[in-house]
Amino acid sequence: MIVKRLLLFIPLVLVLLLLQSFFWVPTYENQAAGNPNRLVTYIEASSGDAKILNPILNADSASSGIVNQVFEGLLDLDENLDLRGRLATDWQIFERAYLVVNPYHRFPDGTEVTGARLFQKIHAAWKTGTDEGLKNYVQSLELLPAIQREETVSLLLPSKEGRPQLKDVRVTVDVLERVAFTLSQVDQDLFDRLKPILGEQYFEHFPYEEMIRPQEDLTKEIEQALREKFPEILPVGEHNPTIVLHLREGVTFQDGHEFDAGDVKFTYEAIMNPKNLSPRTPDFEPIKTVEIVDKYTVKIIYKRLYSPAINAWTMGILPEHLLNDVALTREKQERGLSEDAQESFGMRDSQFNRHPIGSGRFQFVEWQGDEFIHLERFDTYWEGPAQYQDYFMRIIPELFTQEVEFRTGAIDFYGAQPHQVDRYKNDSTYQWFSSLGFAYTYIGYNNRKPLFADADIRKALGMAINVDEIIQYLMYEEGERTTGPYPKNTEWYDPSIQPLPYDPQEAQVIFHDAGWHKNEDGWLEKDGKIFQFNLITNNGNPIRKNLMIIAQNAWKKIGVKVNTQVFEWAVFLGDFVNTGDFDAVVLGWSMGIDPDLYQIWHSSQAGPQQLNFMGYTSQRADELIVRIRQEYNRDRQRQLTHELHRLIHEDQPYTFLYAPLSTRVLDKKIVLVQAGADGKEEYKKIYPMKSGDHTFLFHQWRKLEFTPDF
Amino acid sequence: MWNFILRNIGQRLILLIIVSFVAHSFIHLAPGEPSEVDPMNPRMKPEDIAKIRAAFHLDDPLHVQYAYWIRDLASGELKSFKDSQPVLPKIWDRFLNSLPLFILATILVWTWAFPAGIYGAVFRGGVYDRGTVFLSYALISVPGFFLSYLAILWVVGWFGVPVISIKTFGLEHAEPAYKMMDRVWHLVIPSVMAAIGGIAVLSRYVRSQMLEVLSQDYVRTARAKGLDEDTVIYGHALGNALLPFVTMFGLLLPGLIGGSVIFEQIFAWPGLGRLAYEAILARDFPIIMTLNFIAAVLTLAGTLLSDILYAVVDPRIRLH
Amino acid sequence: MSVDSEAMAPPETPWQEFLRIFKKDYQALFGFWVLILLLVTAVAGKAFTEWWVLFDPEVVRLTDKFLPPFSVPSLDSLSVDRPFGGVYLMGTDELGRDVFARMFQGSFVSLSIGFVAVGISLGIGILLGGVAGFYGHVKLGFITIETLIMRFTDAMMCFPTFFLILTAVALLPPSIYTIMIIIGLFSWMGTARFVRAEFLSIREQDYVIAAKALGIPEVRIIFRHMVPNALAPVFVSATIGVASAILTESGLSFLGFGVPPPDATWGNILSDGKGFIFDAPWLFFIPGMAIFVVVLAFNLVGEGLREALNPKLRSR
């Protein structure tokens, strides 16, 4: 019967056909052995795909990994975490400051304030006064005539449904006569120094209403919102820190076009263009103007004191000629979009974001969504080409399969978990580096809740948790204790502050003193209520989930009842963190290099949708935070941050647990290749920099055919 | 006939609109925001978040958002929140990646389920039958990812051959034959994993259909005529037993979308299932909505196709 | 059994006939005993991990992490934290929790997910299928109720179910109840079809027609006479439904959308264990095998029931 035979035959033939393909596939060993290119190819695994390859638009870690290779910033951080020139060679920071005539104010001697008189008095104080700061920093003075300008102000109106709405208002601003200062360095106390001459009240009672006039009739609500913006629109005393950057000459983008000051200005404008919805806007918003002085010099003037602002220039610079209006117009016409789409077409829609061209060490080749991104070496990079020829990022979502691929040599790097790292440490084919990053993990208490209002209670909760044991067993020593809000490897962190001891007995005593007594079930009770709260965290992070369980267990032992819940990230943020409707969370922060803690710790940032969601309030901390972000002198900044660190440590709004080490496991065959004295290649073991970063010399990495003896 | 088809299409169109509107409302009302509205960026100000929300029309009433979505989908200019790329080409790319996996898994299911089921019915109660019953239930009782992990451990551990992703890395310069076979090899394990459940279920179904047909009078008559057993089974019974399965072709269509999120996730396969999964995680509404819409269209088209096929192959059914 | 003796034997009740066939099916019988054992385990698990805490699944002992099965606790661990019997029967997990206690507790949770989800899906399925089968010809405008319900059922049936469940679970706040309800809401379609088909044929049976002629109220006809007779296939699909609900839960756990802690289910023990497959393989294999055995038992019992209840196959 033919049918009968076919029924047997077809499946068998099919299976044989499929299985024979096995013999065509190279085994892992053959892949490495018969393929010299593999030695100059670097393959890393990422669990998620990149979203958008554009330095001003990306916000996820996979994209920024690629973007950092393709694009280059004006500056970057060197091995000691200091700024170093890349596309810029060097830079100077100085200040321009302005003081507006306050017409309703009288000087301490009773005379009316006019431009000429103001200038004269300040000039006298500068030349003959006793204030050292004024004498040393001020370089020149000038009296500017009154002008009138127009501008658009964006206001955020609270709406009844809870979502704030945006409203743009045109205003006319009368700027009276101003005294302009040029200072050799930024001085946040300049106007305080002038107060003895001007009178203490000079900066108050400024008649904003007369100077700032909206061009249309406004509702009460909008007027109120505008009123709150007055000091921003027309500051009485205005600091304009200024940076002049000298750019590197002769650098080209990967398409051969030369890099110049126009690209810097363009990048800034692209970020601030509201159409582009750049997540970098907040970093660049303090900028007033970017001026092109000449082809290789730009001058950046800031609206106000904000010392971390310069760090923003480590961001990659875009090529103007590929993304300006002309280029975008050409692209949208070529793509034949409808009129609506052409209307809204912006940089976000450009194909550039999937085929980026920058001036970094590697240039883009190919991107297969959710599969891989391929870069290759940019041979005419200004500092010389990298050792690796190809750079791949493979997207492998499961940690298990990442590990399988890593062990077989099909990838060179993946984000190994602490328990995996522990295994590789004992394996002689691998080398590993552990280094501190800018992150830390904490348990945060909602300081608004009466249960956590007392710093002693928060301290007692922290003392019940054995952090050293967590670091030893959960993290396999891949973490270090931390005591405050700054990254441990920056100078802002005060290493002299001692962490909370693990002392459950003492914790119980503190509870006892606060009136909490154990009831018959073993729970702490006060006024008929037991000490009970919800501890939540986000899903997808097994270590946080485990921390949550460990904390729950530790607290159970001292009589604190904790319910634990895990929520998906979007829900976690939307329903709990942003609304402030939670008791305690296990979370982590990834900080920047700068010491600015305004968003996370300032009491003004404790509203809904804001980042001080723990509701931490401390008047002294607020003062320190503001002073730190306005201070341009590193030594003074360090003193302030140490004070702030100690203050927060004493208040214990969080239980600071540990700073995780970022650990990289690599094949031992990957080494640093450097040119020796005799022109021959020299191999060195990869080593971490002082800052803990071992990828700093990535461009010198290469894989050898043999395992070197070091 | 045409009347029947037209009326069915009409009914389905109405259903489609209702389903898509309900899905749209559900997705937008569920907690969580698109990940581009990134409130954990320490520098993001409320003004910036309001701007992003406005650009995505997130503050408009639901029916207005639905209208925007329909308009953009119709003009083909719907953009993903995540990377502003047009949604349809993106889905098409992933569809092309998923297609071979789907086709191979389907072929495996159909070529294996029929012999397994038919022999089970022919040798009912025998060792073979009991063995296949047990085996097929055993296979659908293992959690899919558990089995896949074991398969990966085994193949990589014993044979040292790559199985992850759709092709071996660094084989760009190999001969075309090698490249093709490499791709085939990477298809084998995920498609077998995806097919296992289908084989087990379908073979049970085939078996019971076959049993039913074998107990019919005309089979008894054929046997009584003295025809040999093979002719009775493969000549007379099989054709009738298979009729209902023709209609199942239609029902395969929706399986194209999101059939194998777990397998694509484990085998790092850049297919539709993963696209959808990532979109859900990032609350990328345009992608979720469009995939959902396509799934609904395929579903409805599939049932329509199967109704028509049913009517065509089975003369007892009247279209009315 | 020879023809003669069958002819002479007293007429069997359907129940006796069912038992006779079911008992001959060793696979189903095996599954049946596994399920009995499982039920006992689940109840005992609930009792001994929550009411009288002999096995505490929540005690964290970091110093005892990753001990293989049958190890004894290290000396450092406090005496109050020692496991019952002084031995970790199934080893410990990454926090040093007793895997046996967790599996024990999880048996109840996993099973209750299966049962509640199936309960919900049966409720919806019987209701919709019954309405479609009994009131099928009533017209609503241009369309009959039957068409409406069955179109909807067909559409739901063809959607990739797991994907729908995933979307719903991912978008809604996670809790064990969400998962039970969502799984139930998306798996009633098979039941609805069976019930409708059964109702269509029962409706035409003599005893129903007689009951109608006697003027017995419809509700009474439906629940007293029709539902019990339509239950057999429903029972089969319920058994298999529990199996697939347990599998679905483990799939969701794998993608990170399973039952959130502190509830331990076999699914989330398994998916937590997958990260430690090289360090502590028992964390992966024990729950994996447990799920396999239980789901298999449900499936085999379901298959046995189907065989034993299907009159057509019996007649041969």
Question: Above pLDDT 70, what percent of chain C?
Answer: 91
**Span B88-102, average pLDDT:** 89
* Among C39, C40, C60, C52, CA closest to C102: C60
Q: Comparing A155-169, B138-152, B294-308, C61-75, which segment has the lowest mean pLDDT?
A: A155-169
> What is the per-residue pLDDT across A533-560, written as a single tens digit (0 to 9) for each?
999 998 778 889 899 999 999 999 899 9
CA dist., res. B63 & res. B24, Å (int): 9
pLDDT over 60 at B258, yes or no: no
Which pLDDT does position A25 carry in this prediction?
A: 80
The residue of chain A with its CA nearest to that of B178 is A24
What is the rounded end-to-end Cα distance, in angstroms, of chain B?
8
Per-residue pLDDT band for C115 (boundaries 50, 70, 90) equals very high
- Tell me which residue has tokens 């900066």: A203
Per-residue pLDDT band for A410 (boundaries 50, 70, 90) equals confident
A323 or A570: which leads in pLDDT:
A323
- Going by DSSP bridges, is the β-strand pair C143-144/C139-140 parallel, antiparallel, or unpaired? antiparallel
Mutate to test the interface with B, among A17, A153, A169, A398 (most CBs of B within 10 A): A398
Which pLDDT does position B5 carry in this prediction?
A: 80
Mutate to test the interface with B, among A14, A25, A578 (most CBs of B within 10 A): A25
Structure tokens that stand for A454 in this block: 């007392």
Mutate to test the interface with B, among C32, C35, C239, C299 (most CBs of B within 10 A): C299
Q: Is there a contact between A277 and B36 if contact means CB atoms under 8 Å apart?
A: yes
- Name the CA dihedral angle for C230, C232, C236, C238, rounded to a multiple of 10 degrees: 50
For residue C277, list chain A residues with Cβ-Cβ distance below 8 A.
400
Chains with ≥3 CB–CB distances under 8 Å to B: A, C
**Span C167-176, average pLDDT:** 80
pLDDT over 50 at C314, yes or no: no
**Span A466-471, average pLDDT:** 93
**Span C25-53, average pLDDT:** 87
- Going by DSSP bridges, is the β-strand pair A584-590/A532-538 parallel, antiparallel, or unpaired? parallel
**Span C22-29, average pLDDT:** 80
Looking at A501-633, list the stretches that DSSP marks H as alpha helix, in order from N- to C-terminal side. Answer: 504-513, 542-558, 569-571, 598-601, 619-630
pLDDT over 90 at A70, yes or no: yes
Q: List the beta bridge partners of residue A443.
A: A586, A655
A619 phi and psi angles, rounded to 5 deg: -65, -45
Torsion-angle region of A679 (φ positive above 0: left; ψ -120 to 50: alpha; else: beta): left
Q: Can you list the pairs that B117-120 forms with residues at least 24 positions away whose Cβ atoms lie under 8 Å?
A: B117/B202, B117/B203, B117/B204, B117/B205, B117/B206, B117/B207, B117/B209, B117/B210, B118/A7, B118/B206, B118/B207, B118/B210, B118/B233, B118/B238, B118/B241, B120/B203, B120/B206, B120/B207, B120/B210
Counting one residue from chain A and one from chain B, the pairs whose CB atoms sit within 8 A come to 207
Q: Which residues contact A442 (CB under 8 A, 6 or more apart)?
A: A586, A587, A588, A589, A654, A655, A656, A657
CA dist., res. C16 & res. C10, Å (int): 11
Report residue C78 CA to chain centroid gap.
39
pLDDT over 60 at C2, yes or no: no
Q: List the beta bridge partners of residue A93.
A: A243
Peptide bond between residue A660 and the one before it cis (omega within 30 degrees of 0): no
Which pLDDT does position A162 carry in this prediction?
A: 58
CA dist., res. A553 & res. A536, Å (int): 14
The DSSP letter of residue A353 is G
- Is the Cβ of B55 closer than 8 Å to some Cβ of chain A? yes
- Tell me if C284 sits within 8 A of B149, measured CB to CB: yes
For residue B215, list chain C residues with Cβ-Cβ distance below 8 A.
312-313, 315-316
Nearest 5°: CA angle at C272, between C270 and C277? Answer: 80
Chain A, 530 to 549: residues with Cβ < 8 Å from chain C are 539-540, 542, 545-546, 548-549
The residue of chain A with its CA nearest to that of B109 is A11
**Å from C244 to nearest chain B CA?**
8
Which pLDDT does position C77 carry in this prediction?
A: 54
- Tell me if A625 sits within 8 A of A602, measured CB to CB: yes
CA dist., res. C279 & res. A564, Å (int): 27
Which pLDDT does position A71 carry in this prediction?
A: 95
What ipTM describes this predicted complex? 0.85
Which pLDDT does position A66 carry in this prediction?
A: 93
Q: Comparing A236-240, A282-286, A656-660, C295-299, which segment has the lowest mean pLDDT?
A: A282-286
- Going by DSSP bridges, is the β-strand pair A41-46/A390-395 parallel, antiparallel, or unpaired? parallel
Q: Can you list the domains of chain A with their CATH numbers?
A: 39-69+353-432+663-703 (3.40.190.10), 83-92+242-334 (3.90.76.10), 93-241 (no CATH), 439-662 (3.10.105.10)
pLDDT over 90 at B117, yes or no: no
Which strands form A524-526's sheet, in the order they lie side by side?
A: A517-518, A524-526, A529-530
pLDDT over 70 at A161, yes or no: no
Kind plus residue range of the DSSP H or E element containing A190:
helix A190-198
For residue A394, list chain B residues with Cβ-Cβ distance below 8 A.
165, 169, 268
**Span C178-200, average pLDDT:** 86
Q: Is there a contact between C160 and B303 if contact means CB atoms under 8 Å apart?
A: no
Chains with ≥3 CB–CB distances under 8 Å to C: A, B
Chain B, 254 to 273: residues with Cβ < 8 Å from chain A are 265-268, 270
Per-residue pLDDT band for C1 (boundaries 50, 70, 90) equals very low
Per-residue pLDDT band for B35 (boundaries 50, 70, 90) equals low
> What's the pTM value of the predicted model, to 2 decimals?
0.86
* Among B86, B91, B62, CA closest to B72: B86
- Tell me if A323 sits within 8 A of A266, measured CB to CB: yes
Which pLDDT does position C3 carry in this prediction?
A: 46
> What is the per-residue pLDDT across A313-328, written as a single tens digit (0 to 9) for each?
999 999 999 999 999 9
Per-residue pLDDT band for A34 (boundaries 50, 70, 90) equals low
Between helices C161-171 and C176-185, what is the axis angle to 10°? Answer: 150
A357 or C15: which leads in pLDDT:
A357
DSSP assignment string, C244-295: HHHHHHHHHHHTT-SPPTTS--HHHHHHHHGGGTTT-THHHHHHHHHHHHHH
- Is the Cβ of C177 closer than 8 Å to some Cβ of chain B? no
CA dist., res. A472 & res. B139, Å (int): 41
pLDDT over 80 at A692, yes or no: no
**CA-based R_g, chain B, Å:** 25
- Tell me if B261 sits within 8 A of B98, measured CB to CB: no
> What is the per-residue pLDDT across A90-141, written as a single tens digit (0 to 9) for each?
999 999 999 999 888 888 888 888 889 999 999 998 888 888 888 889 999 9
For residue C154, list chain B residues with Cβ-Cβ distance below 8 A.
303
- Tell me which residue has tokens 């964390």: C283
Kind plus residue range of the DSSP H or E element containing C46:
helix C26-46
For residue B211, list chain C residues with Cβ-Cβ distance below 8 A.
313, 316
DSSP assignment string, chain B: -HHHHHHHHHHHHHHHHHHHHHHHHHHHHSS---TTS-TTSTT--HHHHHHHHHHTTTTS-HHHHHHHHHHHHHHT--B-TTT--BHHHHHHHHHHHHHHHHHHHHHHHHHHHHHHHHHHHHTTTSHHHHHHHHHHHHHHHS-HHHHHHHHHHHHHHHH----SSSS-TT-TTS-HHHHHHHHHHHHHHHHHHHHHHHHHHHHHHHHHHHHHHHTSHHHHHHHHTT--HHIIIIIIIHHHHHHHHHTHHHHHGGGGTTTTHHHHHHTT--SHHHHHHHHHHTT-HHHHHHHHHHHHHHHHHHHHHHHHHHHHH-TTPPP-
Mutate to test the interface with B, among C140, C161, C252, C254 (most CBs of B within 10 A): C254
Q: Which residues contact A422 (CB under 8 A, 6 or more apart)?
A: A476
Structure tokens that stand for A477 in this block: 């020593």
pLDDT over 60 at B317, yes or no: no
A255 or C191: which leads in pLDDT:
A255
> What is the per-residue pLDDT across B202-213, written as a single tens digit (0 to 9) for each?
888 888 888 888
Structure tokens that stand for B289 in this block: 């909505």
Nearest 5°: CA angle at C269, between C266 and C275? Answer: 140
> What is the per-residue pLDDT across A621-658, written as a single tens digit (0 to 9) for each?
999 999 999 998 889 999 999 999 999 999 999 999 99
Which pLDDT does position A353 carry in this prediction?
A: 92
pLDDT over 90 at A268, yes or no: yes
- Is the Cβ of B8 closer than 8 Å to some Cβ of chain A? no
Per-residue pLDDT band for B42 (boundaries 50, 70, 90) equals low
Which pLDDT does position C307 carry in this prediction?
A: 77
CA dist., res. C281 & res. B6, Å (int): 58
- Is the Cβ of B162 closer than 8 Å to some Cβ of chain A? yes
Which pLDDT does position C5 carry in this prediction?
A: 47
> Which of C166, C171, C292 is the closest to B32 by Cβ?
C171
Other beta carbons within 10 angstroms of residue A495's beta carbon come to 10
> Which of A473, A565, A567 is the closest to C65 by Cβ?
A473
**Å from A557 to nearest chain C CA?**
10
Give me the amino acid identity at A474.
Answer: L
CA dist., res. C104 & res. C92, Å (int): 13
- Is the Cβ of B50 closer than 8 Å to some Cβ of chain A? yes
Burial of A286 (0-12, 13-18, 19+ CB in 10 A): middle
- Is the Cβ of A566 closer than 8 Å to some Cβ of chain C? yes
> Which of B79, B231, B274 is the closest to A370 by Cβ?
B274
Give me the amino acid identity at A421.
Answer: V
Q: Is there a contact between C172 and B31 if contact means CB atoms under 8 Å apart?
A: yes
Q: Please write down the HEC assignment for all residues of A254-315.
A: CCCCECCHHHHHHHHHHHHCHHHCCCCHHHHCCEEEEEEEECCEEEEEECCCCHHHHHHHHC
Burial readout B231-267 (b: 16 or more C-beta within 10 A, e: otherwise): ebbbebbbebbbebbebeebbbbbbbbbbbbbbbbbb
Which pLDDT does position A92 carry in this prediction?
A: 93
Which pLDDT does position A583 carry in this prediction?
A: 93
- Tell me if C236 sits within 8 A of C302, measured CB to CB: yes
Question: Above pLDDT 70, what percent of chain A?
Answer: 98
**Span B201-230, average pLDDT:** 82
- Tell me if A55 sits within 8 A of A71, measured CB to CB: yes
CA dist., res. B8 & res. B300, Å (int): 10
> Which of C143, C295, C313 is the closest to B141 by Cβ?
C295
**Å from A679 to nearest chain C CA?**
45
- Is the Cβ of A374 closer than 8 Å to some Cβ of chain B? no
Structure tokens that stand for B287 in this block: 């992608």
Chain A, 637 to 696: residues with Cβ < 8 Å from chain C are none
**Å from A31 to nearest chain C CA?**
24
